[in-house]
Chain A
Amino acid sequence: MVARDRLEQLRGKFGSAIQRVDLPGDSRLFVFVEPSVVKNICQYIFRDLDARYVISIGIDDRPFSGNFMVAHNFAFDEDHLLCSVLTYLPSNNPKIDSISDVVPAANWAEREMRDLVGIEPVGHRYLKRLVLPDGWPEGEHPLRKDFSWDHVPKEFNDEREFTFDEPPEGCTVVPFGPFHPTLDEPAHFRLYVEGEMVRGCEYRGFMAHRGIEKMAESVLGYNDIPMLAERICGICGCVHSVAYVQAVESAVALKPPPRAEYIRTIMLEIERLHSHLLWVGLACHIVGFDTLFMQSFRIREPIMWIAEKISGNRKTYALCVIGGVRWDITPVLKSELRQVLDKLEAEWREVVAAVSKDKNIQKRTVGVGLTNRDLVKNAGLVGPVARAAGVDIDCRRDHPYAAYDRVEFDVITAGGGDVWSRLLVRMSEVFESIRIIRQCLERMDDGPLQSPVDGELPVGRMGLSSVEAPRGESHHFVITGENNRPRRWRVRAPTYQNLQAVPMMIKDQQIADMTISLGSIDPCFSCTDRLETIDLRSGATRVWSQRELLELARAKEVRR
């Protein structure tokens, strides 16, 4: 079925409520509908047409159309189609029917929309704050256009502690995080524990919200944003950079030259290689198998070196610009990359052979952190977590981008839905990545690295892009705008969906399985820190607040 047929289905069911349709090609569909039918149409798309929920986006469009906007994005994976259901809301007191009881995966997205844009999801069952801290004043919404990017409300109290839900009766609370040796990034889980069994948990995250989207919408230019996007994640930065430029390119119908597409593919797969190797190592470390952790990192290191040779950096590649790439892969680099891949493949085969036969690791991972097809569907899980539960989705094949339509590879799935299956999927995907890079090196022709961009990019166009990150689909939504920057840029990292399912995955499991269950989605939070100093002579302690640390860091000279 193609986009046009899907549109006919929607028209047949909701004919008069559909106000406007934008069909820029066979792979993108934008449907503008009346606010009153949003919930029904989402239910129809999600349940009856069996589309996958991607993300919901709140947009302050008042300076341009005088309205607020809400977009619910869905993916028809088999039709290779990304679809966005949009609606305009009045500028005073914007409200929309919550879709989270028919699409449970929209839980966080709607809470975030309420926090940051101030659009009230009516009928949402758990309207606790998600992104904003508890000390943030009511009625201040940072992603509104009249909220300056550097404004901090006077009433903001950054010392205020979070309010937590009451634990169920008979359970004790085991705090997990904000800082825990296996988390490496701040996130707080309050586990409700009965003996050794976890009965439930509450999650508080977003402890280091950096306002990246706001900065892009108000300060930076189109070609600065890829560098910022890359810094969203400490592991899969290139993914975000590619997803952003592709979203812009799809909005303004700009096609990068073939060589650039091949280079993007190669760098994305290099990133997947190092990420999967890192994850297998960390998973082993979490269950106490440090030898494999060390060996994994040893095998991974040459990948980092070749990435540095290509881009000048081990990890933050600074690869993309709108319409192309910045780095070329020369014949010398090509042959070096081939050697690295050969060595990696041989060494990884040994690791996979060792792990596959290891009864000891299986004991800790089989039947742990269970998901099933229902949970994948309802929570919108993506990537290896979905594939390990037998759900055959992969953006590289389903929504082809860069040069993925010109290479052959298999989408690895497994049936167990547990940590062991996720381990098997990730280990096998390493071989597929090697295969993809080899084909790219083979087929890449000479040619330019960037397509010329003439003048300003057109304004008010919408673009969607889904890129398969090592952790799952990374989805970017862009509306182009004035002053050489987008009006709205929404990033949905794969962890955003996968993390929502962790409470379900760890329920009625042992505390010991908590870390590996959480680890198995390969979570990716973001980082900041606080600092305590102790004056040795007086013994007085002093906690430095975030603001003081920033002042210290920005002062030209720090006197001891």
Chain B
Amino acid sequence: MSHGVISALLGGVLNVGLVLLLAPLCQGVLRKVTARVQSRQGPPIWQPYFDLLKLLGKEDIESGESPGMQRFAACLSLATVLSIPCLVPMGFAAPMNDVADVYLLIYLLALCGVCTLLAGLAAGSTYSLVGISREMMSIIVLEPLFAIALLVGALHTRSFRLDTVLNGSVYATDGFPWSGLIMLGVILLSFQAFVQRVPFDISEAETELMEGPLMEYSGPKLALLKYAQMAKLVIYSALFVGLFVPWGSGEPFPWNCLVFAMKVFALVLLVTLVAATHARYRIDQAIRYFAFLLSIAFVALVLASYGH
């Protein structure tokens, strides 16, 4: 086996481990800060770890239309989310840099949404179906946003290599980086939706749909789905950092990791504060909002293809 493959595998395992380790912590921070904003004491920062362990240890109840498909959907959901860290620089360079490219990244991001659809469809209750119909509508206008951001970077650098694109490539123009700054704004404005938090937790909407697609899930399956959701927060933050705020990642170890962790942490805080100060939008309002962002993103894409 060549040296490259081994280091890629090792790096991948390291990144996946890092995400698995960090995700519940970020969730814990999110819950604690939310509680403070709401004048509450809040659970201990470690609570999400215990929650996951407890769920994993519970009896696997099979409720829903097709239990086999449900189990598959739950596993696939976490598996997809966990394959993304292999393609994303998290402090170090992206581990699978030589064997994967930006296309794969875009596909995997889309697959995350498909997993939710699958989970809801397999559960088959009315509320799940309403939930996935909402999820489907938002995927159609939401997913292209991040893809366009990646494409803008790829256009600027004339490369689909992960290490090139996920290194602040959106600003890599000769003149003023118009398209990059526009995409920064677009992604910031839609970030809550990518990590499925208020005001865009529409497909789960506890007070309307009783968790929608997740409604029929409990025990270990729910743990996997919840874990995937927590991991999404870390991964999208890492992607955002790589694409839009790469500064400091070139520093020597351990500073690069420290800087990375700080940036992810700052994003988690941002997500928390936005979630704590907003009401949930309705699906039609959200779609209109995403569609507006999408049209702006297309403008950025056109600008990028002309080198601005």
- State the A residues within 8 Å of B (CB): 172-175, 180-182, 193, 195-196, 284-291, 293-295, 298, 358, 360-361, 363-364, 510-515
Contacts and interface: CB of A to CB of B under 8 A. Distances in A.
B208 A515 contact: yes
Contact of A512 (B277, B278, B283): B283
Given A174-B126, A175-B126, A294-B38, A512 B208 contact: yes
Contact of B282 (A180, A294, A510): A510
Contact of B208 (A173, A294, A511): A511
A363 B281 CA distance: 8
Contacts, number: 81
A196 B283 CA distance: 9
A481 B167 CA distance: 86
Contacts of B285: 363
Contacts of A361: 279
Contact of A288 (B39, B127, B279, B283): B279
B39 A360 contact: no
28 contacts: A172-B126, A173-B126, A175-B126, A181-B210, A182-B207, A193-B130, A195-B133, A196-B134, A196-B283, A196-B284, A286-B207, A287-B207, A287-B280, A288-B199, A289-B198, A289-B278, A289-B280, A290-B38, A290-B198, A291-B276, A294-B40, A295-B38, A360-B279, A360-B281, A361-B279, A510-B284, A511-B130, A512-B208
B283 A291 contact: no
A195 B284 CA distance: 12
B280 A510 contact: no
Interface of B: 34, 37-40, 126-127, 130, 133-134, 198-199, 201-202, 205-208, 210, 276-285
Q: Is the interface of A mostly helix, strand, loop or mixed?
A: helix
Contact of B205 (A175, A289, A360, A512): A512
B281 A291 contact: no
A196 B202 CA distance: 13
B39 A298 contact: yes
A363 B285 CA distance: 8
B219 to A, nearest CB: 14
Contacts of B277: 291
A287 B208 CA distance: 9
Given A175-B126, A182-B207, A298-B39, 7 more contacts: A288-B280, A289-B278, A294-B40, A358-B279, A510-B284, A512-B282, A515-B207
Contacts of A512: 202, 205, 208, 282-283
Contacts of A290: 34, 38, 198, 276
Contacts of B134: 196
B38 A288 contact: no
A288 B40 contact: no
A360 B39 CA distance: 21
B282 A288 contact: no
B37 A291 contact: yes
A287 B210 CA distance: 13
A364 B283 contact: no
B279 A364 contact: yes
B130 A288 contact: no
A421 B51 CA distance: 41
A284 B279 contact: yes
A298 B126 CA distance: 36
Contacts of B202: 512
A293 B39 CA distance: 11
Nearest to A361: B279
Nearest to A509: B282
**What are the nearest 3 A-B pairs in CB distance?**
A288-B280, A294-B38, A289-B279
